[in-house]
Structure 1
């Protein structure tokens, strides 16, 4: 695994972005933009590629965009990071039923060389695989109460953009994937590179943020919850 204590002598850092039908575009586009800029600023230190869950052809949420992934789960190269973007809860509930995805997450988590990053509701996929048990994690504020009730072995952290548990990073809603990606760049390339990307994106990077409050009566609850 790359030695993150030595920011100047690391090998190439590879980031696999897992894609599936009806994925939220911003959940993966934001992190890709961060790593693309990091690649330019570090003369190729970062390499990002996309991985299709079932096939290379992916349709984003509401079929707004068709993407051809670089690889599938059957043939993608080894990576340092695997980023799993989120989707609407109806899509997430179907993905939770996908035993091949759950097995993939469990298997990749076993490797000491791989870190897994969730964006938004993809935290449910990690929680369902059991790899967040006993750890701190976050998710989209709108589903936070449901997540906390459904996964009592996980310590939900509110009012943050991301939570870093070393081997697993969970980020909250949509654009927080940018913060998680900037955090990774800062870890490997330092605050100067991180700051340059932050300014280039005209973004305000941070870890802590007071979450919005869902309108009365609009809090997400799974069908299993009755109160």
Structure 2
């Protein structure tokens, strides 16, 4: 068996459901032919480990809290109202994201999760994208990044940002392609009956 990657998905109140559930499904379903073990182990984490109330009332129990979370290879920062209006003002969360950047191989945002990366200073000097409805605000509030509109995702190496909601699924397939090749990504997409252009 080749290398395995631990994927962490950060959860918080008022997180957009598909922002985290889409990547969770993509990485969870990925497999390599003739290998029993899956290449990705997917975990959820929140600040305190308490039950999370996502957008529209979906309740989720995170697996870890900040204090007991393992080190991740890939960290997904979803968006939603909770990102751009609540957690962006939570300095403990911003500091945790800064700390994780030095530990993970890939830090990726979905939708307005880009605001949390920007607030942590991780997008300075980089190209980035977010939900089309929030792109102007991101550009206005964080002038040290270059916003790219009307695109599914932007790969800047160790930092990847994606557009709104379902774009996180496209980004997740892109990460799988980068790590394991196009065939593995296409096989996962076929299992999900998801049309991808990679």
Task: Name the TM-score, length of structure 1 as normaliser.
Answer: 0.81
Deviations 1:17-55 (A, max 9, x none): 110111111111111111111147653211001001232
Maintained 8 Å contact 1:108/1:114: no
In structure 1, C-alpha distance between the alignment counterparts of 2:121 and 2:197, rounded to whole Å: 28
Q: Mind listing any 5+ residue stretches in structure 1 that lack a counterpart?
A: 1-8, 208-227
Maintained 8 Å contact 2:83/2:112: no
In structure 2, C-alpha distance between the alignment counterparts of 1:78 and 1:139, rounded to whole Å: 26
Match of residue 154 from structure 2: 163
In structure 1, C-alpha distance between the alignment counterparts of 2:19 and 2:80, rounded to whole Å: 8
Comparing 37-46 with 152-161, which one deviates more in the overlay? 37-46
In structure 1, C-alpha distance between the alignment counterparts of 2:83 and 2:111, rounded to whole Å: 13
Match of residue 54 from structure 2: 60
Match of residue 137 from structure 2: 146
Match of residue 210 from structure 1: none
In structure 1, C-alpha distance between the alignment counterparts of 2:112 and 2:157, rounded to whole Å: 20
**Residue of 86, 92, 96 corresponding to 2:88:** 96
**Residue of 99, 107, 113 corresponding to 1:116:** 107
Is residue 70 of structure 1 aligned with residue 68 of structure 2? Answer: no
User: Aligned in 2, Cα 1:134/1:77: closer, same or farther, shift over 3 Å?
Assistant: same
Q: Which has the larger Rg?
A: 1
Q: Mind listing any 5+ residue stretches in structure 2 that lack a counterpart?
A: none
Q: Secondary structure at the match of 2:30?
A: helix
Aligned positions, number:
196
Q: Secondary structure at the match of 1:142?
A: coil
Match of residue 222 from structure 1: none
Q: Secondary structure at the match of 1:145?
A: helix
Q: Secondary structure at the match of 2:71?
A: coil
Maintained 8 Å contact 1:39/1:47: no
Deviation at 1:139, TM superposition (A): 0.4
What is the aligned-residue RMSD (CA, Å)? 1.7
Task: Name the TM-score, length of structure 2 as normaliser.
Answer: 0.92
Deviation at 1:152, TM superposition (A): 1.3
